[in-house]
Amino acid sequence: MSDHGHEHDAAHEHGSGGHAGHSHGVTADADRRWLGIALTLITAFMAVEVVAGIIASSLALVSDAAHMLTDAASIVLALIAMRLAARPARGGFTYGLKRAEILSAQANGLTLLLLGAWLAYEAVRRLVNPPEVEGGLMLATALVGIVVNVVAAWCISKANRTSLNVEGAYQHILNDLFAFIGTAIAALVVVTTGFARADPIATLVVVALMFKAGYGLIRDSGRIFLEAAPADIDPDALGDKLAAQPAVVEVHDLHVWQITSGQTALSAHVLVEPGGDCHAVRRDLEKILQHDYGITHTTLQADHVPENVLQVAFPGDTADDTAHCDDSHGPVHRDEPHEH
């Protein structure tokens, strides 16, 4: 007896009730407003910094200005991705365009890595042959930049940072803040000691931070594109927990993935013991998934177990030898010792 039709209706009811949990107390309009304020601050200061960097002959200032350009681009990209993700699902895009935000996060991570590589090259070149640097102007500009980036970072922190899209823009701003702090320290060294190599050294420190942030964004967004399970969920442990529930004989074809950051989906085939209530089992499993894992987008196909699965296994048989599906994807979970 298949419960697939009833499951489909219940999944719609269950899913619609769970969407509110993705807001995290921050509306999309509020996100766009905070990002817009940060974008205005950064764009205005960037123009000033480019002029100051050229006059002071400071690579650290010019690199900060270049980084601020990517900051502005990352925020614009985030705002566009938010608009696309908010569009309703239609046609062939059955999830809508929610993964536009993940594309934005990947682009932000990639620009951090590429910009970092260019700055690393320039910094090494200046270490070998350091130019004259105007430390006073460099210091004054860096101090103003710290203030601007603190305000911009605070604005973006008010948005929903559980979104990789917003987190990408935030990481850009945060790394720019670190860059200005490094530039200010380097400028102080230049002013007090005349050591011009402090400028490219500060740049290399910031490059290391950029590589770290860029790698993190590409790694996390890549997991979503490859439909890996969320980093905080162990699918094997989850499957074992579902299989241990009353009346459940077996759970297989278990898939856990993210539609976009903060929205996890799950599907599985559940075999229920003869005489068990498939509807009740499915509802109980959905409650566990929502309460323990925060998963509300679920598709659970519940069926009564066929006779061949109930047969006593011979010594040496594995779980896969008695699986219900001929082409089962992933391990079979039962409430008994088994290999994953």
DSSP result, 153-220? HHHHHTS-TTSHHHHHHHHHHHHHHHHHHHHHHHHHHHHHH--TTHHHHHHHHHHHHHHHHHHHHHHH
310 has a pLDDT exceeding 60: no
321 has a pLDDT exceeding 60: no
Whole-number percent of the chain with pLDDT over 70: 81
Is residue 264 a contact partner of residue 231, using CB atoms and an 8 Å limit?
no
Give the other-Cβ count within 10 Å of 107's Cβ: 21
311 has a pLDDT exceeding 60: no
Q: How far apart are CA 26 and CA 250, in angstroms?
A: 40
Nearest partner of 100 among 117, 111, 123, 84, judged by Cα = 84
207 has a pLDDT exceeding 70: yes
Least confident of 41-50, 161-170, 192-201: 161-170
Which residue type sits at 183?
T
- 300 band by pLDDT with thresholds 50, 70 and 90: very high
- pLDDT tens figures, 118-130: 888 988 988 888 8
Q: What is the pLDDT of residue 286?
A: 95
